[in-house]
Structure 1
Amino acid sequence: MGEDLYCCICNDETGRGIILLNQYICRSCEKEIINTPSDELKYEIFKRKIKDIWISFLQAT
């Protein structure tokens, strides 16, 4: 990616990451999502944000 994008998780502007259902997730958040144990509160926050991405995608189609 040559352009900077805003992460839908942390709102930071970066140029490296992934696109999930038309939403950008920065490399830092991607790694944090992968490495967060499922028994931590932060995991639930990530789950909710990804669910919001999914709902937004469904509403747009």
Structure 2
Amino acid sequence: MDTVAVQKTTLEKCIVCDEKKLTGIHLFTSFICSDCERDMVNTDTSDPKYKYYIDRLKSVKRS
């Protein structure tokens, strides 16, 4: 049986960097691009960027 891969072609705006990207995750109705997700996961809590990420995630709303 052959498997057909479907490639996503719609750009979505990341709630962290405000850039339109193809790949990432959805958190409720919000989109976080793969680059920002990777940076958030690897940022130490003592890093000033950590507070920035927390502030951006506050914009996430449940559907």
2:35 pairs with 28, 32, 35, which one?
28
Q: TM-score, normalised by structure 1?
A: 0.81
| Map 1:1-61 → 2, pairs under 5 A | 1-53=8-60, 57-58=61-62
Write out the 4+ residue segments of structure 1 that deviate beyond 3 Å after TM superposition.
none
Unaligned runs of 5+ in 2: 1-7
Structure with the higher fraction of residues in helix conformation: 1
Unaligned runs of at least 5 residues, structure 1: none
The two structures, once aligned, show a CA RMSD in angstroms of: 1.3
Separation in 1, partners of 2:31, 2:13: 7
Select the structure of larger CA radius of gyration: 2
Secondary structure of 1:25's aligned partner = strand
Report SS of the residue matched to 2:54.
Answer: helix
Tell me which of the two structures has the higher relative contact order, counting C-alpha pairs closer than 8 angstroms and 6 or more residues apart: 2
Number of equivalent positions: 56
Cα deviation 1:3-56 (Å, max 9, x = unaligned): 111111101111100011200100000000000000011001101111221xxx
**TM-score normalised by length of structure 2:** 0.79
Deviation at 1:2, TM superposition (A): 3.2
